[in-house]
Chains A and B, each alone.
Chain A
Amino acid sequence: MNRMEKVFAKGKAFIPFITAGDPSLETTEQLVLQMAAAGADLIELGIPFSDPVAEGPVIQEADARALAAGATTDKIFAMVKSIRSASQVPIALMTYMNPIFTYGIEKFMANSREAGIDAVIVPDVPYEEGEELLPYCSKYGIELISMITPTSEKRIKMIAARARGFIYCVSSLGVTGVRQEINDDVKGMISLVKEVKDIPCAVGFGISSPEQAAKMAELSDGVIVGSAIVRIIGQYGADCVPHVVEYVRRMSEAVKQEKTDI
């Protein structure tokens, strides 16, 4: 079993997102190691981008902090390499197409593999443009994670048929950010996926409370939480690690708890 296959092998997965280099790459490294120890099954690491059009204000600000602190794609690869000497937690890079394209798609995937990256998530590459990345993803064994959203509708089956690793189910319209209400339609979205392919589906966008996480875990195979964590990092800066770890532990427990009622 490769690292990606292990993510969902033990049951429901908890997947935290953080922006690499916010507030520093040293802190990011500590966060990855300790979140893994606290129950994270896959870490989604954002490569900061100057213009993250799919992000709300919380992650936009994290990207700006990380870039101001000097994070670059090369330094992030080096950090992941260093993490790999201590941990085999699966890692997915989340970034936009321009940092990948400008770096050189092949070089990006080759260096990802060498650093020990397992997957990439590229929110501005829809199904139709995926062909540009896929040959290099498969050459270097990096999974390109597919996203489906509440507007995907007829597209879900087509997307699912080509999907690998897991499917990122975007719970709501709009950009990333904490929400009070989370769309219940994820259930319908996921059942469309499962008609085509037996592939794990993880739900993200808007989730922040253990109650929301538990509810989404019931409907899916895993839960992705970004803005709520990034907000803690923004609040505590270099001292964020224990606060984030505590939060990840609670969220991970909520995701993995056995259903008691209903």
Chain B
Amino acid sequence: MLKGRFGNYGGQYIPETLMNAALELEEAYSKFKDDQEFKEELSELQRNYAGRPSLLYYAEKMTKDLGGAKIYLKREDLNHTGSHKINNVLGQVLLAKRMGKTRVIAETGAGQHGVATATAAALMEMECEIYMGKEDTDRQALNVYRMELLGAKVHTVTSGTQTLKDAVNETMREWTRRVKDTHYVLGSVMGPHPFPTIVRDFQSVIGREVKKQILEKEGRLPDALVACVGGGSNAMGLFYEFIEDKSVRLIGCEAGGHGIDTDKNAATMATGTVGIFHGMKSYFCQDRYGQIAPVYSISAGLDYPGIGPEHANLSDLGRAEYVAVTDDEAVEAFGYLSRVEGIIPAIESAHAVAYVQKLAPTMSREQIMVINLSGRGDKDVAAIARYKGVQIYE
């Protein structure tokens, strides 16, 4: 029962049908994670396929404009496929291949994880099927076509709220149907053990690079790290290397939707309670009978009623802070970063940018903060135009 726990959180709450697959994955991961050949192959892919290390860019104009802390952007948007999701996917698909799997399946919200999985599957010659809620296939239509171009089959999920949570449900169901030859490439630091650990480890390259880069540029650690949080993988990837560096504030930005005092948000830490769902004990948006709440965000990638168990623990320990950012604030920040720095962020990442717009001016010019720019915004341009009442055809 204590396996795969972060404090009280985590665990392995899955149907018996999946237990052997989870155990097999755990065993394979503990074997390969320290395997020299595996590590070299992965780091070769990270360098020459995904484009790592990603830049740590000093956002000078934004810094001057806000008039407070010095702001750096970790440019995960420049990775191949346009987001941090590729870091985890290359690791997992490589692992699946070593395990003798021939087929990968994955859920996706914004479509970025689906695109990354389809990409890695194409590269490593695996069959690939992606599950995506109907609402998301509508609002992120470009990514659906992108996955199909890459040779993946995309299933539109019409059950439940037709968003990320339901895509996870359907991918889990598919995994129980066909578990022998199939690996489930979970897209965030969530789900049953060992996924939260595996995904965190593969994403932790972000924070390791940031530490090295900031020490080179500034000769000291940053004062704050800011990242958006859906399931929490880009945030965990940034935070992990700094957990023991107590002077560094760790700030996760959740989707506040229309506001945390309305019922239209996905701010799990602000509005959720402890529960057990999708294989893990963590915080969830739910009612008092444990029915999972229908959540909402303009951002398909943050539109999820839970959060990874390691975040739940960091929050309980007071080591990380979680704040809610509304749709309006994120849309404003989406435009702001585009105008001021010439960088169009993913609407998910724009949640982190929006919070920094508020926080930086309250900090001194000697202080340093790093925003994880988890993805690029091309996929969101049409949706943001629609949000502002402009009709654009993709």
Docked-complex contact A129 and B291, CB < 8 angstroms: no
On whether the beta carbons of B19 and A151 are closer than 8 Å, the reply is yes
Which one of B15, B160, B276 lies within 8 Å of A50 (CB-CB)?
Answer: B160
| Chain A contacts for B279, CB-based, 8 A | 124
CA–CA, A151 and B278, complex, Å = 20
B17 adjacent to A51 (CB under 8 Å) = no
How far does the alpha carbon of A101 sit from the alpha carbon of B3 in the complex, in Å?
19
Chain A, range 114-159, C-beta contacts under 8 Å to B:
123-129, 131-132, 147-153, 155, 159
Closest chain A residue to B17, Cβ basis: A149
Interface presence of A72 (CB below 8 A): yes
Q: How long is the Cα–Cα vector from A159 to B79 in the complex, in angstroms?
A: 46
The chain B residue sitting closest to A74, CB to CB, is B289
* Chain A residues near B240 (CB-CB < 8 A): none
What residues of chain A lie closer than 8 Å to B273, measured between beta carbons?
102
Given contacts A73-B289, A102-B288, are A123 and B178 in contact (CB under 8 A)?
A: no
Bin the interface of chain B by size: 35 or more
Asked whether A128 and B12 contact (CB < 8 A) given A50-B292, A103-B289, A173-B177, the answer is yes
Of A23-31, A52-60, A82-90, the one with at least 4 CB within 8 A of chain B: A52-60
Are B15 and A102 neighbours in the complex by a CB distance under 8 Å?
no
Give Cα A57 to B158, complex, Å: 11
**Contact indicator per residue, chain A 161-203, by CB within 8 Å of chain B (1) or not (0):** 0000000001001110000000000000000000000000000
| CB of B284, distance to nearest CB on chain A (Å) | 8
Please name all residues of chain A whose beta carbon is closer than 8 Å to the beta carbon of B172 when the two chains form the complex. 53
Task: Give B361-385 interface residues, CB cut-off 8 Å to A.
Answer: none
Q: A98-B292, A102-B290, A128-B3 are in contact. Are A54 and B177 (CB under 8 A)?
A: no
Contacts of A60 in B (CB 8 A): 159
Question: How large, as a class, is the contact surface on chain A?
Answer: 35 or more
Residues of A close to B1: CB separation below 8 A: 128-129, 131-132
Q: Is A251 an interface residue (CB 8 A)?
A: no
Assuming A129-B11, A131-B1, is B291 touching A152 (CB within 8 A)?
no
B291 near A124 with CB under 8 A, answer no
- A234 contacts the other chain (CB 8 A): no
Please give, as numbers and ranges, the residues of chain A lying within 8 Å of B169 by CB-CB distance: 51, 53
B14 and A124 within 8 A (CB):
yes
Set of chain A residues within 8 Å of B276, measured between Cβ atoms: 97-98, 101, 124
Pick from B13, B16, B19, B291 the residue with the most CB of A within 10 Å: B16
Q: Is the Cβ of B13 less than 8 Å from the Cβ of A170?
A: no
A-B pair count, CB < 8 Å, reads 118
Would you give the shortest CB distance from A251 to chain B, in whole angstroms? 25
- Check if A72 sits within 8 Å of B289, measured CB to CB: yes
Bound form: Cα–Cα A150–B166 in Å: 26
Among B3, B11, B21, B173, find the residue whose CB has the most chain A CB atoms closer than 10 A: B173
A124 and B169 CA atoms in complex are apart in Å by 12
Main secondary structure of the interface of B (DSSP, over half): mixed
Is A99 at the interface (CB under 8 A from chain B)?
yes
Interface status of A93 (Cβ within 8 A of chain B): no
Q: Report the separation of the CA atoms of residues A148 and B273 in the bound assembly, to the nearest whole angstrom.
A: 31
> Does B277 belong to the interface (CB within 8 Å)?
yes
A67 at the binding interface (Cβ < 8 Å): yes
Residue in A closest to B24 when the chains form the complex, CB atoms: A151
Smallest CB gap from B159: residue in A: A60
The answer to whether B15 touches A51 (Cβ under 8 A) is no
**Pick from B12, B20, B173, B286: contact of A102, CB under 8 Å:** B286
A96 to B286, CA, bound (A): 14
Q: Mark A68-108, 1 if CB is under 8 A from B, else 0.
A: 00001110000000000000000000001111111100000
Judge if A49 is at the interface, Cβ distance under 8 Å: yes
**B275 close to chain A: CB less than 8 A:** yes
B275 touches A98 (CB 8 A): yes
User: In this assembly, does B176 line the interface, its C-beta being within 8 Å of a C-beta of chain A?
Assistant: yes
Contact (Cβ within 8 A) B16 A174: no
- The minimal Cβ–Cβ distance linking B256 to chain A, given in whole angstroms, is 22
Contact of A129 among B13, B18, B173 (CB under 8 A): B13
A125 touches B176 (CB 8 A): no
Extra contacts besides A49-B290, A67-B291, A97-B277 (8): CB < 8 Å: A50-B292, A53-B172, A98-B290, A123-B16, A124-B14, A127-B19, A175-B173, A175-B176
> 22 A-B pairs, CB-CB below 8 angstroms?
A50-B292, A74-B289, A98-B286, A102-B288, A102-B290, A125-B13, A126-B12, A126-B13, A127-B16, A128-B19, A147-B16, A149-B15, A151-B19, A151-B179, A152-B16, A152-B19, A170-B17, A173-B176, A173-B178, A173-B179, A174-B178, A175-B173
